Each structure stands twice: as C-alpha cells, then as structure tokens.
Structure 1
C-alpha cells in the first residue's frame, strides 16, 4: 500500500543534511545500511527469484549446488558511490558482489572496506560478457550533487549506454535498483536524456526528490522506497516542492 509524502528540491535536502553532517552524524553509513536491506529484500522478490533461477539453470543446468546471487554495483565519485560501496560490504554476506567504478575518483575508504569484504572489482568488458548472470544492478553513479547538469558524461555515460543497450537487446536481464535517484535524472525537474538506466526500484534518502515524480521521473524511477535518515525535523519548516506516492517508508539503522 502506497503512502503520500512531500517532495523537496536537491538544495532543500542538502540544507537539511548539512547540520547533521556538521555534528558528525554518519548519514552515508545509515543510507548504505538501509540500501543493503532493501537490496536483500529485492533479491527475495518473485521477479528477482525468477531471474536468478534462470541464471543458475543457464550456468549449471540441473545442478544440486545452490549458488549465491550475483549483484553488480555501479559506483561513481560522489556520495552516491560511497553509499553503494558501503552497501556492497553488507551485501557481500548474502551475494557475490562485483563493483564497476565509473570514475577515476571514488570513495577510497568505502572501496577499501568493500574489497576487504571480498567484493570483486570488474571492468566493462567483463560486465558486457556477463550481464545476464547478475540478479540485480545497483546504480550508484550520480545523485543530487549534479543538480546543475545531471547528464552523464565520459566513462559513466559509456558504461550506462553499454548496459542499457545490452538490456534493450532482450533476453534475461537483471533488475536495476537506483541509489537515491536514477543516475542522469535531474533531481528537481525530472529531465533526462537517453543515457539513464530505468530502475525497477529507487531507494531515496531523507526525502523524495521532486524529479522522481516530474518530467521523466515516473518513467525511470520505478517503485520509490523512502529511507528515513533523520532529516524530518530539519524539513518541517521547509515548503515542499510537491507531493508523491512511495511504495513504503523504512527507517535507516542507526548503529
């Protein structure tokens, strides 16, 4: 059952985050923990189980061995990339996780933690050859920090275009989970070009971004899960940009 919630602009959300970050509240860790919980739940949905069953049958027909699901994490240079990398640490307990970095810059501490947890780094040629064997793709490339120009560029654009083209060719393909907002979607206006991975689920943090429900947002965001990371008090005095329906609201762990 859906719930109605207010939407906010990227600037409003950043303004609500700032006081918490200034006093050391670990918003990234909270977001990553909640993201990992949602992804784990998605791995158990009927749609993903059907995909995973087909993958296992293709890899080892009639095998009695139960293989773990495979998850591909696309990580960018900003906070979204950090969220995705820290989530990969937690996901490594239940899945085989691969990371594809789409930038020369990345959250170094988060990547180190992921590698230490057994997460594997891959490059685009490996993903092109193996995409259908992933149960899920986690899109952590770009978030609300790109509110001036949200279009993907360079390596990130090349990676998304290649994966999108693979998906458009049909066959068994993974579902996509967007981190905060589908990368390449403008967080305020919902504008986007063709270099965007349409998500089955968007896990958005703190507040629903206006762009998820305007422009191309509804087409690209899929079901929206709102994660409460503690921004409510700061947003109470802010005039919302609008209103949206979310599939559910979850509270981020605080440990």
Structure 2
C-alpha cells in the first residue's frame, strides 16, 4: 500500500522539526546528491546541469550541487528565477560549481548549449512551496522560470541519444503537488526520477502528474514519523 499527502500536510509535518533546528534541507540535499551520483558511471567525467529556483527547492538542489561537485563532477547552475538560496549557492560555488550567465532576452540558445553538454539535469526550480491550486497555491511556472524550463524541454527533445537524464527535486516543477494537474505540459520537464522527501506528494501518483514524475523515490530524511496519524490524501494498493 502506498500513501501520498498534500503539500499542506507535508508542511505541517515538517514545521515542528524545522522549529527545533533539524537540518532537513541538508539531509534532503545529501540524499538527492547520492541519487544523482549513483547515475554517473564515472563522476569525475560527468557534467551536471542544475536548474535552481529561489526557494527551498532550489536550496536543496544547490546544496546537492556542492556534494556532486565534491564527487568530481562538473556542475553548471542556471538561476531560473534570478535570485537563489544564498547559503546553498555559496556552498555550491565553494565546491567548484559554476553559475551560467543567461542573456536578458531569449534564453533558448544558452539553455540548449547547457543541456547538450550534460548527462544529468537536476530540476530544482519549484517544489511544494506554492502549494496546490485547491489550497490557493499557483504551481504553474511563470516568467523566467517558465522560459528556462521550456527551453530545456526543447533542447532535450533535440538532443541526440543518449539524452540527459532528468532528476526532479521533490516534484517536477510545474505540476500541482496535490492534484497532479499540469496547467501547461510544454512547461514541465518529464523526470526520469523524482526524489521526494518526508512523504510522497499526492500529485506524484495522480495523473497527469504521475506521468511526468518518472520513478518516484521517497527519502524520509528522518521526518516521515511526523506523518503518523495523518490521514493520507491518496492511498494506492
């Protein structure tokens, strides 16, 4: 039996742990990095592209980028929303990751060059922070974030095989974490692997979101016990 939860339920479960200073982001990023490195036959020869948003999802991706770079991989970071999580970015840069400077206008060519030069793309643009639409959130991508994801999707489609693998952080950016609805399919990267934390998000097992999530791997990060007694939003046999 598989259980899945709403973004609000996950936030409520993690809140007391965060209040006590439990380093959930560090744990999440370490587990994420381990998954990415496990996909690399020779980490020292690998090139990784990290699409990083401005919030905690981007922070997870950037701290993971630091660990991936420490494993020897070449890591390029695209700031998908302009600003990034400061501490996580500093850690990534200290480990040797590099930030890609995007042009002010059309980013298609710049993103294509990055995509065609990598083996793995880490989608850390948007997680559950916005919540699901039914709870008043707006998970659809807009502005520069949308432009980056659309450009990456187009570049992946035009990449000769083998194409880069896509690893989503918590959820693929742009899907509703509660309902699985996808407002704009052309602005969502289809993941090969989604590494999700604390509890599986309902949108990862509900169509059409499930079709974008690929293989879903749950990392409890020492916090799943906080969901004990919480009625799941979705239960699958």
* 1:168-183 alignment, distance < 5 Å: 168-172=157-161, 173-183=163-173
Structure 1 position 202 matched with structure 2 position 180: no
Match of 1:221 among 210, 213, 225: 213
Q: For 2:202 and 2:61, how far apart are their aligned partners in 1?
A: 22
Q: Which residue of 2 aligns with 1:53?
A: none
Q: For 1:33 and 1:158, how far apart are their aligned partners in 2?
A: 28
Q: For 1:30 and 1:40, how far apart are their aligned partners in 2?
A: 16
Distance 1:233 1:38, change over 3 A: same
Consecutive unaligned residues of structure 1, counting only runs of 5 or more, are 50-65, 246-255
Tell me how far 1:128 sits from its aligned partner.
1.6
Q: Which residue of 2 aligns with 1:155?
A: 144
* 1:1-255 alignment, distance < 5 Å: 4-44=1-41, 68-94=45-71, 95-122=73-100, 123=102, 124=107, 125-147=109-131, 148-172=137-161, 173-192=163-182, 193-194=184-185, 195-244=187-236
SS at match of 1:219: helix
Whether the 8 Å contact between 2:198 and 2:221 is mirrored in structure 1 is yes
Q: For 2:152 and 2:224, how far apart are their aligned partners in 1?
A: 36
SS at match of 1:176: strand
Tell me how far 1:67 sits from its aligned partner.
6.2
Q: TM-score, normalised by structure 1?
A: 0.83
Q: Deviations over 1:200-238 (max 9, x none)?
A: 000000000000011212210000110011223221110
Whether the 8 Å contact between 1:208 and 1:244 is mirrored in structure 2 is no
Q: How many residues align?
A: 222
Whether the 8 Å contact between 1:177 and 1:202 is mirrored in structure 2 is yes
Which structure 1 residue ranges, 4+ long, deviate > 2 Å from structure 2?
123-127, 230-233
Distance 1:28 1:134, change over 3 A: same
Q: For 1:20 and 1:37, how far apart are their aligned partners in 2?
A: 23
RMSD: 1.7
Whether the 8 Å contact between 1:128 and 1:163 is mirrored in structure 2 is yes
Structure (1 or 2) with the larger CA radius of gyration: 1
